[in-house]
Amino acid sequence: KAFEINDSVTASVFLSLSPLFTLLLLPMIDLGQSQFLPIDGLGVLSIVLGIVLLNRELQSGIAFRTRKSYFQALWVPILASFLFGANIYLIKYIFDQAIVNAFSYYFLRAFIIAVMMWAILRPNFVWVSRKRLGIAAGRSGLVILQWMMFLYALDRGQPVIVKAVSDTSPLFVLVFGFLFLKESFTWRKVIGAFFVIGGLGLLTI
């Protein structure tokens, strides 16, 4: 919904704030985690700032979409970002209580999403061809691998740190764009990359 009522840049920037909400909720949630140090907080903030800059720059060429209302344009993506950030603690609780493991959680989640989307959207399959099905299946494999790695990391690590580090994908988009598409660097890309790498360095320390 956030992408439907906003231009892509605005929606991406707001959704990039989800690790910030995870950090802000930390004092209210006790999961028996190891100590979260001030330097970790600085690292998360640095990563979030870098991601915002990179998202803004990487998608600045995408066409603007008309906003339905200022309220929706502002609060829908912020609420989505908050839910992303808060949900990490719920998943962590599920793992800590041994309610389900990461593998079972992912596929149960995928099944529920599929059933809900089928009921709501009533999709048709006129688009299906052997080539398109192969592309979709290949991407699905990558998404499954991505989520499994994220969930196993969350099972073993600090929710705030795992969430922040997992959202650094724009940094890799920047690198791949330079290597394979010969895209140029801009000052915003360089500064954004600097903040992301600096934040990762602080977390490592």
Q: What is the pLDDT of residues 144-174, one digit of tens each?
A: 999 999 999 999 888 888 988 888 888 888 8
Which two tokens mark 135?
């592309």
What single-letter amino acid sits at 196? V
The pLDDT value given to residue 8 = 65
The pLDDT value given to residue 145 = 93
The pLDDT value given to residue 76 = 83
Task: Write out pLDDT tens, residues 66-113.
Answer: 455 666 667 888 898 899 999 999 999 999 898 999 899 999 999 998
Whether residue 47 contacts residue 165, with contact meaning beta carbons closer than 8 Å, is answered with: yes
Nearest of 161, 202, 199 to residue 33 by alpha carbon = 161
Higher per-residue confidence, 62 vs 199? 199
C-alpha dihedral sign at 164, 91, 27, 38: negative
Among residues of the chain, what percentage have pLDDT more than 90?
A: 18
- Residue 141 pLDDT grade (very low, low, confident, very high; cuts 50, 70, 90): very high
